[in-house]
Structure 1
């Protein structure tokens, strides 16, 4: 970690620096753990990943004897990235300054496990348990969390089972056991452990949310949706004025009332649950949908009876006359979904514009079938979402090698940072129309020109399903609750086929997809479903 030559400085009368430059300069020269953490964490949350890493390493390099700064840098880089070798290097650097630091050893053990060295990481955890008997339960909590986060569920289950046979469960151990069982596709077994955790910490948001999604994954919609709707809305800390309105509940009379449905969590959640708008309109509600720009045009053309507003504008100044508001993922609860049979069958509920469909059709190669691909989600700021994105995403190389060559036109629908993988792809050519895509309405128009869409668990997957297009989901090994614990169909999307990963790698399930695709292509005829 060498000091860079071009270090911005705000010293000298002739230099004009912004407040951000001054703050950065202060952190470089005289960092406190708090100021350093806040600045680097803020960069990560804004999506400035490379700048966050560069600043973190530069500060540590400038202050080599400060163990605390090295640990802050290691913690943040571990939270937001998969650079486990960098994390391990930072932890070892801290240990040179303070060899007996439990924090540094724990971060190092975490990094070893996350990087694939389970034996090394667990050996270090075991060694610490022997040397620090007063820290044993905390270290076991940490070791089991590390194994869960890295995807070593069976190993984590084995360790927790052995521990819990000898002693009582702490909140974290019970919660970790529940999480492991849920991710292993055993939600019914996870539920009692969540109950045990909640008995110890009734207000803990992590356990109560985990309990709700395990109920949903197990098919207990009645209690699951009620519990799910008790969460604090996940809006990345933003508090819009309409969030102070009464939160809409199933018993509320909405006839003649103006209500606001607003974006919460990811775009996929909105795309999945916005299907309930007609239900509210049939009850006499005047519905306003508040969403990001990416969804504005799609929802405007799909729900002509609703007012669709841009959240960045609508959220600024209070507008009178509204009676209720609800985050869009509350809608299954509001709509009374007690079982899969209660899910609205109004597929398709999205509409693609005819002119947009024709515009993209004119660009496509004539050869068919046309198969769309998405292999990764978009990187997210919040740590738990960044980790989930790493679990749900594969690479173009891995997906492409499993399904190609195939007698079909492969069409790229990958967006964001992972779109750059196309440049390095040397396999079967991909037709790439994404340069002309402005928003999800354009993506919908492209999908209407496809014969099949194959994707990991992303927002375009929900769009394809909501359009009623033939869709194949490549589900991650710890399948999201919305796809249930087993089976190859989805009650949410009748035109979807689910392929389930059973291991930490996507390799085997993608080979299964490739074999199925070659059979599908052999039998393909225009209009053929998934």
Structure 2
């Protein structure tokens, strides 16, 4: 600088910059530039100040001028690359960092920044190579290895990512991001306990880190530890009130816990923070539907679908809302989105033959394959009766249902023509077309509830087993004059909605066992801790059931089945039994809203929660309804009697 006065001013500007007084530093720089408009040192400092105060375009232009005037100015090139990266001009930022590395190949920081820009461009191989170079140049730096691990994880190389995070931890045992990354990889590998331990360590090192709180919360949630998960999600929302994903995760946990109204509030907060986020909108729509606010739910789902028309989860949630609302015309075709990400557990079978869409089957073989739960199969197998009878059908089912369906279809009028039943996992015969079982309503063009109905029974139990159980039930009846009532109180504990749909055996069986003239029969195969003790205390026989064939035979002889929403409800309904189905406040889509009956099973009555999580009024209704059946008992002197369905 030619003037000592200007040099002194520049020194003051640098001092103000280092002290964080950026306004004063900027004022002095501009004062100098009035006298020396091409002074690169001043232009450089001002360009950096402009970038730090988010005036990126002006700052980048100034820094580009400095880099052009001084091609070897590495600090200016670094600042220019950072400015381009912040502006989203990623290709330009790559060029700036590459210019540094041409001048100074051993610059670890430039390799790191180059990797970050390449990663943002989606160039993962180039990013990983740059991160590896940075790590080699800084062997003691744990943070670079965390960054490398994240890139490897994004590239799907979980083994290398795991090694990178472990390498970071060896260098810095107190590196919270390394433990968080380690937990993410372990969770992806299904090593849930190890993942939770890693997340817990990250949270111990950074107790107020929302990411650590959220990830540990999600892991605990997946492990069924919902109360602990909720506490962590709530803490994360307090610490990061402006993070949409944090509120969305809290909403999901609240939904699983049966706190639907609170879940809606959390999702609304997430949508307010990220109004263009289709996932936030979709989750809000799902929660609104579960609260019975179907009109608003459908509108919200429509917004989500407009934002993300190819998002499988978003479109599948919209399909479920249509089905819940009774809009079969739109719901069944849209239900196909389950194969495009809508249901995590489903994977395309990759069959080389076309999917059947309702065309003639003359001379051809159609594979109908079960896809989801056992109850779904029992419910949807009804649609075999609608298939064209001029072709051959192969029905692939879950192994536990093989014997029941093979025998049940052989002795019923359900399946026209030639039907073979095979177990999933066994070799399949040759076939020309395939269709997922739950795609049959769409393929058959069902557009209203009447199309779902099927005269019951459409399945029949094995005759010898029915006779054996009839003898036992008859003995009980002759001895006590009892009404024989089957009971199922809980389902698969791994089901997403188990906490909502299942109830305590004692809560349900206690009031029913106290009724005179009622004999209870447990008809679910699985027992939870303490169930045997409850049955013994109530004097209820804890019968051993040998699979679905045995359960079907027992159900056939009962007067009534009282059950929560499990496969037992579908089996009893398919057998034409009287079923009293106890539903949570937020029912599964197939039971729709408000009605006391269902087109799926004509002899089924629905008892619905009026408040989320409150089974007591439902049980009182069941007890009152059972008492009201006393007048019907004379007509029920044979084990095959079926209770009328009071509505």
TM over 0.5: yes
Q: Which residue of 2 aligns with 1:275?
A: 382
What residue number does 1:369 align with? 483
Matched, 1:388 2:388: no
Q: For residues 179 and 435 of structure 2, what CA distance do their matches in structure 1 show? A: 42
Q: Aligned equivalents of 1:76 and 1:218: distance in 2?
A: 40
Aligned to 1:257: 364
| CA shift for structure 1 position 523 | 4.4
Q: Equivalent residues in 2 for 1:71-470 (5 A)?
A: 93-107=201-215, 114-115=226-227, 124-129=235-240, 133=242, 136-161=243-268, 164=271, 168-232=275-339, 236=345, 240=349, 243-250=351-358, 252-282=359-389, 284-304=390-410, 305-315=418-428, 319-320=429-430, 322-364=431-473, 365-366=476-477, 367=480, 368-380=482-494, 386-407=495-516, 408-418=518-528, 421-425=531-535, 427-433=537-543, 435=544, 437-470=545-578
Corresponding residue of 1:498: 606
User: Residues 69 and 370 of structure 1: is their aligned pair in 2 closer, same or farther, counting only changes over 3 Å?
Assistant: farther
For 1:90 and 1:424, the matched residues in 2 are separated by: 39
Stretch moving more, 400-409 or 104-113: 104-113
Q: Distance in 1 between matches of 2:393 and 2:229?
A: 53
Determine if contact 2:563/2:581 at 8 Å carries over to the other structure: yes
When normalised by structure 1's length, the TM-score is: 0.75
Q: Is the CA contact 1:183–1:478 (under 8 Å) kept in the aligned structure 2? A: yes
Unpaired segments of 5 or more residues in structure 2?
1-148, 154-171, 411-417
CA 1:89/1:294 → structure 2, altered by over 3 Å: closer, same or farther? closer
Residues 254-288 of structure 1 deviation map (CA, whole Å, 9 limit, x = unaligned)? 22321011111001111111111121143x22111
TM-aligned CA deviation for residue 427 of structure 1: 4.0
- Please give the TM-score of this superposition, normalised by the length of structure 2: 0.63
Q: Using a 3 Å threshold, how does the CA distance of structure 1 residues 100 and 262 change in structure 2: closer, same or farther?
A: same
C-alpha separation in 2, matches of 1:198 and 1:503: 28
Alpha-carbon distance in structure 2 between the residues aligned to 1:510 and 1:121? 34
Match of 2:644 in 1: 529
Over residues 95-122 of structure 1, what are the superposed CA-to-partner deviations in whole Å (9 max), with x where a residue is unaligned?
A: 222234322223566769941897x667
Relative distance call for 1:424 and 1:70 in structure 2 (3 A) is: farther
Name 2:625's counterpart in structure 1. 516
Shift of 1:493: 0.4
For the 8 Å contact 1:402–1:513, the answer to whether it is kept is no
Structure 2 Cα separation of the partners of residues 159 and 503 of structure 1? 17
After superposing the two structures, state which structure 1 stretch, 273-282 or 412-421, moved more. 412-421
Alpha-carbon shift at residue 88 of structure 1 (Å): 9.6
Question: What is the CA–CA distance in structure 2 between the aligned matches of 1:519 and 1:94, rounded to whole Å?
Answer: 59
Distance 2:344 2:226 in 1: 28
Higher helix share: 2
1:173-224, Cα deviation, whole Å (9 max, x unpaired): 2112101111112333212211211222222221111111111111110111
Query: Following the alignment from structure 2 to structure 1, what is the Cα–Cα distance between the partners of residues 183 and 519?
Result: 45
Q: Distance in 2 between matches of 1:90 and 1:512?
A: 48
SS in 1 for 2:496: helix
Query: What secondary structure, in the 3-state scheme, does the structure 2 residue paired with 1:314 have?
Result: coil
- Which residue number corresponds to residue 34 of structure 2? none
Distance 1:417 1:202, change over 3 A: farther
Of 477, 487, 506, the match for 2:585: 477
Contact 2:370–2:396 under 8 Å retained in 1: yes
**424-433 vs 333-342, which deviates more?**
424-433
Larger Rg: 2
1:237–1:498 Cα change, 3 Å: closer
Relative contact order (alpha carbons < 8 A, sep ≥ 6): 1 or 2 greater? 1
Q: CA deviation at 1:230?
A: 4.1
Would you say the 8 A contact 1:281–1:287 is kept in 2?
no
Task: Tell me if the contact between 2:271 and 2:281 (Cα under 8 Å) persists in the aligned partners.
Answer: no
Q: Secondary structure at the match of 1:229?
A: helix
Task: Give deviations 1:354-384, integer Å, cap 9, x for gaps.
Answer: 211011223332342100011111244xxxx
Judge conservation of contact 1:109–1:124 (CA < 8 Å) in 2: no
Instruction: Find the aligned partners of 1:442 and 1:281 in 2 and give their Cα distance.
Output: 31
